[in-house]
Amino acid sequence: MSDSPLRYNTPAAWTEAVLADFDSFLLDHATAEKKASGMAVSMLSHYPDRTALVSAMADLAIEELTHYREVLKWIHQRGLVTGPDQKDPYVVAFRKSIRQGREVYLMDRLLTASIIEARGAERFALVAAALEEGPLKKFYQSIARSEERHFELFLDLAKQYLEADAIEQRWDELLDIEAALVGSLPIRAALH
């Protein structure tokens, strides 16, 4: 991802861990897509008066659920079965940065979502680059491009509803928080 805002580059050891246990990665990927769809529905429910946000989140919810269905096909082709959702330690920890209060909460939800999508774009691109030529590689290249669009979508929505100076300052803070968080988490065959 050429214009990634991220301040911590995922190490090669992460890609190696994913390739060494790709089944676990696929199962985690499916869960992440399902949760992303649910998050989009939560956002449009929470802010019904923000019409641009509602429209964008409705589209996003459908797109993320479509990705979930596509990952399910890969899972079922491999003879795997999805299990109960596990909490994502990265998302749980990062969401602790979200402040209370209507406007700052909206800002932090949009900006953390943007950063989470940027991290997904980076990592799916790493997976795509590591895979052999074929349909699975193409799938992950496509997913990485989608995540990059989503990162920009959340940032654009923040700019539409909130003060530019406040966004810039908080964006800077959250990027530092996310970099420290990702650097501190154990490497595993999971998206985060």
Q: State the CATH number of the domain containing residue 68.
A: 1.20.1260.10
Rounded to 5°, angle at Cα 24 from 22 and 27: 110
Indicate whether 126 belongs to any domain. Answer: yes
| pLDDT 10s digits, 9-32 | 999 999 999 999 999 999 999 999
- Our count of domains for the chain comes to 1
Nearest in space to 140 (alpha carbons), one of 74, 53, 48, 61 = 74
Question: Phi first, then psi: what are they for 10, rounded to 5°?
Answer: -60, 130
Q: How many residues does this entry show for the chain?
A: 192
| pLDDT 10s digits, 60-116 | 999 999 999 999 999 999 999 999 998 999 999 999 999 999 899 999 999 999 999
Whole-model pTM: value is 0.96
Indicate whether 99 belongs to any domain. Answer: yes
pLDDT value, residue 68:
98
